Chain A
Amino acid sequence: MSIVAGWLLRNKEAYLTNASTARDFRSQLRGNRPLLLWGTYLFILIGFGTLFYAVTSSEGTMSVASLQRELQGFYNTIMNMLGLMVVVVAPALTATTIVSERQKRSLDLIFSAPVSTKYYLVGKMISSYRYTWMLLVLSLPVTSVCVVLGGATWTDVLTGYANLSFIGIILTSIALALSTVAIKPVSAIVWSYFATFFVVMFTWTMASFLSFASMRSGRELPFLVSLSPFNQLNAAGAYTQIGWVQIPNFVLAGLTALLVSRIMLLGASSVLSPFGALDTKSLRVHGLVYMFVVAVGVGSALGSGSTHILYTWITFPLIAIVPIITCFGWDLEKKFWPDGWFSIRAAIVGTPAGGLPYLLGLLAGAFLGSNLGVGLATMDVFPDLHLQLCYLTWALGLWAFIWAIGRGCSSLYNGVKTARTLQAVFFLVFLTVPSAAVSMIVAFTSQPGLVDPTPLWYLMPLYPLGLPLAEGAPGALAWGLLMLLAALYIGRKAEHRARNPKPRGRK
């Protein structure tokens, strides 16, 4: 009982009576500036609405159907403007919050008080998100005009607002996480917009791609469509069929927002926490679970015949975290000091020795998850297992190789940051850039074999479309084993150097 009560109290403190939020609120609402901003904002929205009204009413006679279409177009434009507002405002408000406190050096004041990183981050998240949300709510009069005139229904408007709020949560949490990593406010802003751009492009591409792909019955659409800020007209009223249940997409979108913001906050918290913190462990476990869940989702959406490329592709975004989990160096907080090359415990504690086992865990999650997803969708358990294992070997080899490169760079330089950058650059040169070439070859070759991709064969497992599956498997296996061997060799060298470091300057 007292455990529950304590938990409730802690959550109440973090979410409802957060001191950080109260303080930000005071400075956000100070003086005339907010009034001026909101006035201008409303003025633009309403002015746009009036303009539209003037244009349509001056057309004179107009059929009911075309008027309907016009109104819908108006509603769509308003929603897209709101989407744009969220995309522009959310990162701008959030990206500087923590990095500017770090520059002011006020973080020390806060963390010498009995404040958990979670309390602090939740407070920051609420105060910047609330502003975005206020702007959304302020636009309600304009959108309700659409309902009154008949361009949309209340359900459309409300789900639209819900979805935009969820997008806001996702973007805010990502910007917050980047803000804890950044050293300068400017770089935090640049990185946040970069990430926002990536998220918007991703959901947008998914939205246009998937809504074509699944022109099935009724309004069944993949829920990712709801998370595109510029697609709310399509997303309204859509649902996803899981088994016999129709789940409204905004529910799934909300769930996704919750999960994304959770892992982002954990990530931010882990950055701010010292060595061995509970938040880091929680983050690691969450990462494994999320990988599995995403793999199940993608597997069930795309179905069989493609399982092996599923987990080769799913693991691609790992490059965002691999430099952080694999490289080592002598930092101040002991977080990334070299502590061996393979330790399962370290995989959860979050030290460099855990890099390889954690990567293996993620790959296992992707492999099992995507197969479970396919199994759920097609009732076919582990289709073509022997082929899959070849591709799995390739994925193992690839990530072990990238791991070894990171370890190698770490052992050559003292700075963990330099090693991370080098590893990321290597990934770019080794994989991303040639990938573009291979996808061109695959896309423009109607007959496989017309263009010889031999030099880039190590990439072929990512593009089995240009090659029959079974034919690609031996190559995948061979390249996988080759990369594994290279990884072992480089990894061993790096480990040797890490254990016998050259005397490092000073004293």
Chain B
Amino acid sequence: MLDVKQLCKDYSGLQAVQGVSFQLHPGDVFGFIGSNGAGKTTTIRMLATLLEPTSGTATLNGADIQRDPMEVRRQIGYMPDFFGLYDDLKVWEYLDFFAGIYRVPPRERPQVIDNVLELTDLTVKRQAYVQTLSRGMQQRLCLARCLVHDPAMLLLDEPASGLDPRARAELKELIAELGRMGKIVIVSSHILPELADFCNTVGIIERGELLAWGPVDTIIRQIQAHRSIMIRMLERGPEAAEFVSRLPSVLAVTPRGSHEIQIEYAGDLEGQAEILATLVRDGYRVTDFREEQADLEDVFLRLTTGAVQ
């Protein structure tokens, strides 16, 4: 598991990362969300042992990023927010180079390369030169490079930026697959919907501070102390609004036209069921009764001030 404790980084007076802490377990796909300049890259580079933290620590399966960087490096695959590709190589040579760098025994290399090419769907491009690949393919090749040594953790810095929707969808599928393979995956992005559907954990960073982190639904509930319920009926909308507002634990009622009302509710699920039962008992013909899910976007907007450093 990854255990990050009070990680800080100062850039000559500017605190780029201030006391970031979180824990992740195998299989966690962690969406690291923040606007530009929030400190995502800095945090990820510290976890990749490329930057010395000013203070704080992080350990990956017991190995400390500062005291035992080589052990950490053996267990991670880092994909920066740029490609860093070598143009003068063929795809398999590029992967062979990194397999060599990661000390994969020469005998196993062809098999490993086949596997990662298969996983990233690049098998047909095996003999192509790196510079002839499309952007999406280059991005997948970068990911393939991170996988040659079967790392326990992947650090992907803005992997989806600059990809067309199709390539983006493919990449998401691939990342989700890596999570299912039991790896810890950290994916950063400044675009929220990009992460919403395949992360099971999120962290929201703003001006170097991690404002909230945890499982997606927990975070949403944390932010949203009371539920928002939408009720639609065949008729008597305003009348129903009047009626519901007198029920316990209902904080506010907003009529939406003549057929629909929205209520803010602070009670538990029992009470929620009771509201529906009461309405039906009193002869309101309810067609729809549902809790509105606040999505990550709402959470993000509520948490952050939108300020950029």
Contacts and interface: CB of A to CB of B under 8 A. Distances in A.
Nearest to A337: B12
Given A112-B73, A113-B73, A506 B13 contact: yes
Interface stretch (A21-29, A140-148, A403-411): A21-29
Interface in A77-104: 104
Contact of B88 (A19, A30, A414, A507): A30
B13 A505 contact: yes
B84 interface: yes
A290 interface: no
Interface in A21-59: 22-23, 26-27, 30
A334 interface: yes
B82 A105 contact: yes
Contacts of B76: 112
A19 B89 CA distance: 13
A60 interface: no
A471 interface: no
B158 to A, nearest CB: 14
Given A19-B97, A114-B102, A106 B89 contact: no
B88 to A, nearest CB: 4
B12 A504 contact: yes
Interface string B58-82: 0000000000001101101010101
A275 B51 CA distance: 10
A113 B102 CA distance: 6
Contact of A332 (B11, B80, B82, B98): B11
Contact of B86 (A23, A116, A333, A507): A23
A108 interface: yes
Contacts of A305: none
A106 B85 contact: yes
A363 B78 CA distance: 46
Contacts of B102: 113-114
B78 A108 contact: yes
B264 to A, nearest CB: 39
Interface string B73-114: 110101010101110110001001111111100100000000
Contacts of A275: 52
B123 to A, nearest CB: 21
Given A504-B13, A506-B13, A112 B78 contact: yes
A113 B98 contact: yes
Nearest to A329: B12
Contacts of B52: 274-275, 333-334
A114 B13 contact: no
Interface in A113-129: 113-116
B14 interface: yes
Contacts of A451: none
B98 A108 contact: no
Interface string A228-256: 00000000000000000000000000000
A112 B48 contact: yes
Contacts of B100: 17-19, 22-23
B89 A105 contact: no
Interface in B111-165: 145
Most buried by B among A17, A18, A104, A414: A104
B234 interface: no
B43 interface: no
B50 interface: yes
Nearest to A110: B101
Contacts of A507: 13-15
Interface size grouping (class) on chain B: 35 or more
A274 B54 CA distance: 12
Contacts of B189: none
Contacts of B97: 19-20, 22-23
Contacts of B201: none
Contacts of A13: 103
B76 to A, nearest CB: 7
B49 interface: yes
Most buried by A among B12, B50, B99, B102: B12
A110 B103 CA distance: 12
A109 B84 contact: yes
B84 A23 contact: no
Contacts of B49: 111-112
A426 interface: no
A454 B292 CA distance: 91
Interface in A381-416: 414
Contacts of A198: none
A197 interface: no
A209 B242 CA distance: 108
Nearest to A119: B101
A19 B70 CA distance: 17
A114 B103 contact: yes
Contacts of A110: 101
A330 interface: yes
B86 to A, nearest CB: 7
A26 B13 contact: no
A104 B84 contact: yes
Contact of A109 (B74, B80, B106): B80
Interface string A321-350: 000000000111110000000000000000
A113 B99 CA distance: 10
Contacts of B13: 330, 504-507
Contacts of B145: 109
B217 to A, nearest CB: 33
Nearest to B129: A30
- Shortest beta-carbon contacts, A-B, top 9: A19-B100, A330-B12, A112-B78, A106-B84, A27-B88, A114-B73, A23-B97, A112-B48, A113-B101
18 contacts: A19-B98, A23-B86, A26-B89, A26-B93, A27-B86, A104-B85, A105-B84, A108-B45, A108-B84, A109-B78, A109-B145, A112-B73, A114-B71, A114-B73, A332-B11, A334-B52, A506-B14, A507-B13
Given A104-B85, A114-B71, 17 more contacts: A23-B89, A23-B93, A23-B97, A26-B93, A27-B89, A104-B84, A104-B86, A105-B82, A106-B84, A106-B86, A109-B84, A112-B73, A112-B78, A330-B12, A332-B12, A506-B13, A506-B14
Interface of B: 11-15, 45, 48-50, 52, 54, 70-71, 73-74, 76, 78, 80, 82, 84-86, 88-89, 93, 96-103, 106, 145
Interface of A: 13, 17-20, 22-23, 26-27, 30, 104-106, 108-116, 274-275, 330-334, 414, 504-507
